[in-house]
Structure 1
């Protein structure tokens, strides 16, 4: 099952063995997490649902159908509405995946099924056309909010996978855990804006779980290294607020990891940079007292700055 899921690393791959993506629909996310699926398979399938969603293409398809519905171009409506059904199913699957994830923006709604096309009677067709037009316009309004949540969703999927890895309590990790993380989850893990505090705290807890488990197996250390050296830990950590719980937990993990790293290496330098960024998050919690509120030592500076 893992290898089947791994056949879909992205639409841009040069070697796509299957002619089309598997069919995802609204029920897919509710089926995936059930036992006995491996956490690796769950992570791959959830990630693939997001990767299969080509927002620009789907938006164009819905706009084309909307135009024909408004103009009542009946010769094209039937063909385009049937083609739109696959896009609708995929959008429904994405919404069902995103719906339970905490967000700092507008929540994503679940979609009702797309109205089934019928031309049995003139009245039935008119009613369908009205319902279909309303559905397509709802989808077009929803797509930007769906796109805005993709970064947060990828962080949530990665967090869920890391938690599954660290909660096993033994040296046995999910199937091909290192490959799942490094080849399928981390390459797309880029978060450019602050995520919901619940997602920050859950990620920090999962990271601490990896650090606590690193003595059980070298693979835990590889997972931890992969996350900390990924693009998620980019300059300034824009996805992280000054939440004390999340910041202090991540800082503890990075400090522990830095203690085992070779001094003077590129890895240790990045770890020190991360600690500097975390320190700034901590300082952001202190109210600005202005010049009269400063002590004799002058303004605070991050304690991990070198040189």
Structure 2
């Protein structure tokens, strides 16, 4: 960790507290496999307090309540501990209260949000002790997540392009056109990201790679400048059809939506669906279509694009 030490490390961090808010994300966006991500206005909100008593106390409300661990293995806690370790600062005791609304196992970046929550919480708790650059925060989150396409938009908001260099992961944040109206369709069942990735072949035909390069470039233009191009821009030949057999209802609904002219794609590893509508009326039409043709229950979430990314504020009492 190359965080800059700006003051002698105070081992008595007890009493410091921060409030953290992290958005959901959708990665890939069709053709932008492992590269493009979008922050969405649905949030996990947490309060984290450093204590003088060793150990961890975790309280979870909402999504994950009664399911996720309530000890040091909790992903937010592991992310905080990782950041402290990389900064060379001893970890204090921790009290964590989480209010979660991001669905788990649905392709909306819940694990990335938890990792980012821990990284920015550690940043807040260490304010005045260690400073972190944006690249360092992205590197810390990527070390835990494995790839930057979800953690970049969760950290920085908006549309992000993420890539990896020999010096570490990097990102570019772009502001999405105000006409873009995302719709997320969330099923009741989950999908394992590891399983989804295992269905991806090691190599793809040259023409498919060229196809996706063109659509990825077009998608950036469509999202920031020309929403009318979103349908063509969300075409993909690299990953979605390889994973279709593992989530047949997702695949069927995407085909139905696209046959009706809606720019629908798998959200992240799935099984949720992201519709990048070009206006609110198209979003409503897509919702109505799903209500007519779906065989199972899907929750329709009309969401704005989040432009801020993760936020952290001092919450000391």
Global fold match (TM > 0.5): no
Q: Normalized per residue, which structure has more strand?
A: 2
> TM-score, structure 2 length as denominator?
0.25
Q: Normalized per residue, which structure has more helix?
A: 1
> TM-score, structure 1 length as denominator?
0.26
